[in-house]
Amino acid sequence: MQFFLFFKSSSSSSSTTTTTTTNLVFVFFLLHLFIARALITMPPNVTIPAVIMFGDSIVDTGNNNNLKTITKVNWPPYGKDFPGGIPTGRFSNGKVPSDILVEELGIKELLPAYLDPNLQTEDLETGVNFASGGAGFDPLTSALASAISMSDQLELFKEYLKKLKGVVGDERTSTILANSLHVIVTGSNDIANTYFNNPIRNLHYDISSYADLMVTSASSFVQELYLLGAKRIAVFGVPSLGCLPSERTLAGGGTRECAENYNQAGQLFNTKLSSALSSLTSSLNDPKSRLIYVDIYNPLLNLIQNPKKHGFIVTDKGCCGTGEIEVGELCNKLSKMCPDDSVYLFWDSFHPTERGYKILVNQILQKYINDLV
C-alpha cells in the first residue's frame, strides 16, 4: 500500500501551512488504519503460498451449502457483517478463522470452500477449504450430522491435488504442498454432541478411552496428510467447551455456569493430542516437517474470563435470539438480534463473532508462526 501526499501551491504561507497540516493529519490517519490492519510478521525468507483447511463449522466457508444436512447456515442473519452482507455458509456474522488466517498471512482475502460451484482455478494455487460443519474425528459424529467426514475431506484433498497438478504441474504442486500451511480444526462436536449426548458412545467409552479414539483418528489423518506431501501441519485442540453459551445452558445448571465436565473432557483430549503429535514428530524424524499442536482452550477462556480487556461485554450468550441455545436454523431472519454484535464474543450459542475470531487468530499466529515455518 502506498500513500501520496499532495501539497497545494499558494502565495499565502498561512494557507500553505493549513493545507500541509491537513494533509499530514490525513496521512497519519491512513497510516494508523494501515498499521492497525498490519499482517503478521513472517520470519525472513519464508513464504507460505497456500492454506489448506480441514475441519468443522468453526472453519467451514460454505462446503455444507449444497449438502442434505441441517448443519448449514446459508441464510440470514448469518453473514450480516460479511462483505456485501450476504450469507455464505460461514457459521458467524462475518469472516471465520479460515478467512482471517489467509488475510493475516497476506495470501488472499478469503479462503474459498472447495465445493463452491464458483471456485476459481487460480484459487487452487493459494489454498482451499475442505471443512464441513458438524464433522469430527469420530466418524459417527460426521454421520450423525450428515457432514463431510474427515476421511471424505481427505479424499477431496486428493482430488484437489490432481486438479492442481493439471494446472501447475507435478513439481510446482510438490513445492506448494511442502510449503503450505495445512490446518485441522475439529473435535468439539465429538465431545459436546457425540460423547455427552449420544448413548452409542458414552455407554461404551469412558471419556479417557473416547479421547483415545479421537486422538487415534487425528494421528491417522495427520500421517496421511504427511504421506501426501504436507510438511507444515497445525492441529488445533478443542476450546473450553463447557463455557460455550449452549453448553452453559445444557449442562451448567440454573445459573448457567461453565460446565466443568465438558471442560475437563476437552483438556484431557488436548493433552493426549499434544503428546501424540510430539511422538509422531519424533517417529517421522524429518527435519523439514512441522507438526504443531495449537492451544485454543486457554486463549478462548481468557477472552471469556477477561472480556473488558478486549472490549467485550457479553461472553455467556450469543447475539442471536436469546443467545443461550440458538444455532443454525434457530438463528433465522425472524430471530431477535442483539443491538451491537461487536461487544459479543459469541455470534450464536456455539460460534464466536468475527471480532472474536480475529483476536483469537492473531494471538495464535503471534504464538505459533515461528514453530510452523
Q: What is 313-348 written as a DSSP string?
A: SEEEEESBTTSSS--GGGS-TTS-B-S-GGGEEESS
State residue 216's pLDDT score: 98
Nine-digit cell at 333? 431472519
State residue 329's pLDDT score: 87
State residue 138's pLDDT score: 98
Print the SS3 string covering 155-184. Answer: HHHHHHHHHHHHHHCHHHHHHHHHHCEEEE
State residue 13's pLDDT score: 43
Task: Give percent helix, percent strand, percent coil of the chain, each to the nearest 5.
Answer: 45, 10, 45
Query: Which of 60, 99, 316, 351 is an active site residue?
Result: 351
State residue 31's pLDDT score: 36
Q: 3-state class of 349 per DSSP? A: coil
State residue 308's pLDDT score: 95
In the numeric block, the cell 445448571 is attached to: 253
Beta pairing class for 314-318 and 290-294: unpaired
State residue 35's pLDDT score: 33
In angstroms, the CA 202 to CA 106 distance is 43
Q: 3-state class of 302 per DSSP? A: helix
Half-sphere exposure of 199 (CA within 13 A, CB side): 0
State residue 40's pLDDT score: 67
Mark residue 29 as left, alpha or beta (left: phi above 0; alpha: psi -120 to 50; beta: remaining): alpha
Query: Which of 99, 123, 341, 348 is an active site residue?
Result: 348
State residue 332's pLDDT score: 78
Q: Please give the DSSP secondary-structure letter assigned to residue 194.
A: I
Instruction: Identify whether 351 is a catalytic site residue.
Output: yes
Contact by Cβ (8 Å): 82, 336: no
Query: Which of 57, 149, 188, 246 is an active site residue?
Result: 57
pTM of this structure: 0.88
In the numeric block, the cell 504443531 is attached to: 292
Who contacts 292 (Cβ-Cβ below 8 Å, separation ≥6)?
A: 233, 234, 235, 277, 368, 371, 372
Average pLDDT, 10 consecutive residues per value, the chain (373 residues): 31 42 41 44 80 98 96 94 96 98 96 97 97 98 97 98 97 96 98 94 95 98 97 98 97 96 98 98 94 98 97 97 92 81 97 98 95 87
Q: What is 273-290 written as a DSSP string?
A: HHHHHHHHHHHHT-TT-E
State residue 334's pLDDT score: 58
For residue 199, cis peptide bond before it (omega within 30 degrees of 0): no
Question: What are the E-state strand segments in the chain?
Answer: 51-55, 181-185, 232-236, 290-294, 314-318, 344-346
Query: How far are the Cα atoms of 12, 38, 74, 77, 116 from residue 82, in angstroms, in the given order?
Result: 47, 20, 12, 10, 17
Instruction: Identify whether 99 is a catalytic site residue.
Output: no
State residue 76's pLDDT score: 92
In angstroms, the CA 128 to CA 27 distance is 36
Report the interhelical angle of 207-227 vs 150-168 (nearest 10°): 10
**Considering all CA atoms of the chain, what is the largest pairwise distance in Å, rounded to the nearest integer?**
88
Instruction: Identify whether 57 is a catalytic site residue.
Output: yes
